[in-house]
Amino acid sequence: MSASAPRTPAGSARDRILDTAFRLFYAHGPRGVGVDTVIAESGVAKATLYKHFPRKDDLVLAYLDKVDQAWFGALCAAARNAGDDPRDQLVGMFDALVGACRREGYHGCAFINTAAESPTGGEVHARTVEHKTVVRAWVTDLARRAGAPEPELLARQLTLLLDGGLAGGVLDGDPALAEAAKRSARALVDAALA
C-alpha cells in the first residue's frame, strides 16, 4: 500500500461489503450476484472480502442476519406502536408490511426469495427456516397473551397472511394489498378471540 492511499479500517470494509451485498442480494437474489460484483461495487480487494467472508455462504448468512434484524425489528416496533394489548399488536404488526410494500425498490421477503434459490438442507436454507420459525414463535406468544384458545393455529394463519402479503406486494406492485392483509388479520384475530 502506498503512503498516500488512505487505510480503510477493517470494520468499515466489512460494513461496505455487507451493505453492498445487502443491496445487490435483495435486488437480484444471492445466486444472481457474483462475489466479483460485490468486490467491485464495495471497492474492496478480493483478499479483504475473503478475510471477512471466507465463503459466499458466509456473506449470504451475514446478509440474512442483517435482514432479520431489520425485518423482525420492524415487526416488533409496529406491534409495540399498536399499544399494550397483545390483540392489537397481532394486527399492528401488519403496519410493518404496509411500510415495506411502500418502500422504493421493494422486492418481497428476502428470506422467501433466498429460500427459493437455496438447496434444502444447506446452511443458508436452514437460516431462512430459522427466521420464519422465530417470527412464528413470537406471534404465537402474542396470540397466547391475547387469550387465543389455539395460539399456534392463529400464529400460523397470521404468518401465512404476512408471507402472502410480502409475496403479493411484489406480484401486484400495489401497497393496497398490505392494507387488505391488515384487515384480514383483524378478521382472523377477532374470530379467534371472539
pLDDT band at 11 (very low <50, low <70, confident <90, very high): low
SS3 content of the chain, % helix, strand, coil (to 5): 75, 0, 25
Domain definitions of the chain by residue range: 9-54, 60-192
**C-alpha to C-alpha distance for 28 and 32, rounded to whole angstroms:** 5
Q: For the domain 60-192, what is the CATH superfamily, name and number?
A: Tetracycline Repressor, domain 2 (1.10.357.10)
Residue 153 has, within 13 A of its CA and on its CB side, a CA count of 9
The pLDDT tens digits for 30-78 are: 999 999 999 999 999 999 999 999 999 999 999 999 999 999 999 999 9
Residue 164, pLDDT score: 93
The pLDDT tens digits for 137-188 are: 999 999 999 999 999 999 999 999 999 999 887 777 677 889 999 999 999 9
Cell of 179: 392494507
Residue position matching grid coordinates 461495487: 41
Residue position matching grid coordinates 458466509: 58
Inter-axis angle of helices 35-42 and 56-81, to 10 degrees? Answer: 70
Q: What dotted CATH number matches 9-54?
A: 1.10.10
